[in-house]
A and B are shown apart, each in its own frame.
Chain A
Amino acid sequence: MSNIGNSLYNIVHLDDLARNKTRIHKLHPLVKLIVTLAFLTVVASFGRYEITRLLPLFLYPVVIIALAELPKAPILKRILIIEPFVAGIGILNPLFEKQTFALGGLILSVGWITFLSIFLKSILTVAAVLLLVATTGMDRLAVALRMLKIPKLFVLQLLLTYRYISVLTEEAERMARAYILRSPLQKGIHIKDWGTFAGQLVLRTFDRAQRVYQAMCVRGFTGEYNTGECIKFKTSDILYLAAWLAFFTVTRMYDIPMLVGTLLTGVVK
């Protein structure tokens, strides 16, 4: 079942990326978290018809990918994974919206604009979160969340859930492999076995999680997850934070594409 194996590889690949040592990686995790939250808020704050105003915000993921030297293809692939769901949500908009607009002689439903807006917003938000994880790593993110006074129970829950994804996928892969090897004439897992398969998977994962937890307990784990890092704020962190917040504020307050357009047409005239 190479698919399950691949997805496991994909999950841990983000962790691998987070271990790079670029300028973006070295920034304080709290600063990156705040910038990401600000970015998400700004993206979400635009109305459903304001698609052009979203465009300048694409600068953020582009700059981060470039400065953090992240490979473009894997990040893009992950963003695209979510798009079928987004399309599922927005695809009926062109049918429901009664208003129309003209584009080069074509009369189109306004629904296409709202659909595009959902599409762009999903790309931006998913990209921002992926980039946050790929440049920070879950452990350092947890440090940032603790600094924001998020209760340790929630942070721990997040970290362990993230860790157990790999435990779950590994178990699933083993079971699927054993199944496929003994059922050479069929493709995938037969629908009549889905129930047993899912049930077994849950039980086996519980068992495995229990052993992982026991191994943690015997090494003195009492509920506090220490990553051991004491990261200090630097001037570059403050500058990074200030620059992005300023950019987001300007994009929110002014219609930059419109301004650029007016400027250009003014120059042409």
Chain B
Amino acid sequence: MSHHKLEVKNLSFVYPDGYKAIDGISFTIHHGESVGIVGANGAGKSTLLLILMGVLFPSQGEVIVGDVRVTKKTLPFIRQRLGMVFQDPDDQLFMTTVYDDVAFGPRNYELDEKDVEDRVVKALDMVGIPHLKDRAPYKLSGGEKRAAAIATVLSMQPDILVMDEPTSSLDPKSRRKVMELLKGFDHTKIITSHDLDMVFKICERTIVIKEGRIAADGLTSEILANQKLMDSCGLEVPLALQSCPVCGRKNQI
């Protein structure tokens, strides 16, 4: 299915204040791939995601989803194919109940209310929070909010899931749950994160961004284990690959 492919060609983006956040990035992501996008703070990860989603438009270059170029005209199609989960679930959840929030996307595509309900129930089941459907989002815990935010995107049945820091500010158990959840999805996944252990577990491929450019693109197991590369990009080797703090033994990949 070619419409699951995402192609980024020679992308550049300059903010109105003259700051060049993205500088000539190109890559292609194929159907079913899980790709981690990592980089230090201010490397351009979030800007890149916003360009992929058509929230920002590049100063140069183009993004192609399947065979369709991301332009103002094609946005409705693009946004049905790509679902984005924002870093702060509070930005994403704004309706009075979880149900209405999850139904917001499908309703925007003017689906029949019965189909909307089916999708909402399915999405809430997938993230394991069907019992929260009538609760007000602001009353949920951090982990529940994150699950609800993911459900709001799943209900649109996207082919590609784009996530900005899906495990940030979660407690260890909630983080584990979200990771299990992400692992269970068959979607093509694009995940930006500073949680390199999560990227290591979930993504087979990693793209490292440094100062708006691609510093490395390849197998996660090779890239994240490359201490020199990680250091030069303001990152660290994942904890799982570092020496044990008690016995000093180095983990094997």
Contact = CB atoms under 8 A, between A and B. Distances in A.
A166 B137 CA distance: 12
Interface residues of A, number: 29
Interface string B73-106: 0001001101110101011101111001001110
B100 A139 contact: yes
A167 B93 CA distance: 11
23 contacts: A12-B138, A19-B96, A19-B134, A137-B96, A166-B138, A170-B90, A211-B91, A212-B94, A214-B55, A215-B92, A215-B94, A217-B55, A217-B79, A218-B79, A219-B79, A219-B105, A219-B108, A219-B153, A220-B156, A221-B104, A224-B108, A228-B107, A228-B113
A228 B116 contact: yes
Contacts of A138: 96
Contacts of B134: 19
A222 B113 contact: no
B21 interface: no
Contacts of B82: 218
Nearest to A16: B136
A226 interface: yes
B50 A214 contact: yes
A163 interface: yes
A82 B190 CA distance: 51
B53 interface: yes
Contact of A218 (B53, B95, B97): B53
A208 B86 CA distance: 12
A81 interface: no
Interface residues of B, number: 35
A15 interface: yes
B136 A15 contact: yes
B231 interface: no
A215 B53 CA distance: 10
A230 B113 contact: yes
Nearest to A211: B91
A129 to B, nearest CB: 19
A218 B107 contact: no
Given A139-B96, A139-B100, A214-B55, A220 B91 contact: no
A216 B92 CA distance: 7
Given A220-B76, A228-B113, A12 B105 contact: no
Contacts of A220: 76, 79-80, 105, 108-109, 156
Given A12-B96, A139-B100, A220-B108, 17 more contacts: A137-B96, A138-B96, A170-B90, A212-B92, A215-B86, A215-B92, A217-B55, A217-B79, A218-B82, A219-B104, A219-B152, A219-B153, A220-B80, A221-B104, A222-B108, A224-B108, A228-B100
Contact of B108 (A170, A226, A229, A230): A226
Nearest to B139: A12
Interface in A208-264: 208, 211-212, 214-222, 224, 226-230
B17 interface: no
Contacts of B86: 211, 214-215
A208 B87 CA distance: 12
Find the residue from B53, B103, B104 having the highest chain A CB count within 10 A.
B104
B103 A228 contact: yes
Enumerate the 5 nearest inter-chain pairs by beta-carbon distance, A residue then B residue, closest first. Answer: A220-B108, A219-B105, A226-B107, A211-B91, A215-B92
B78 to A, nearest CB: 9
Contacts of B55: 214, 217-218
A170 B84 CA distance: 24
B120 to A, nearest CB: 10
Contacts of B91: 208, 211-212, 214-215
A185 to B, nearest CB: 32
Nearest to A15: B96
A167 B136 CA distance: 15
Given A166-B138, A216-B104, A222 B156 contact: no
Contacts of B104: 216, 219, 221
Nearest to A217: B55
Interface in B197-231: none
A219 B88 CA distance: 16
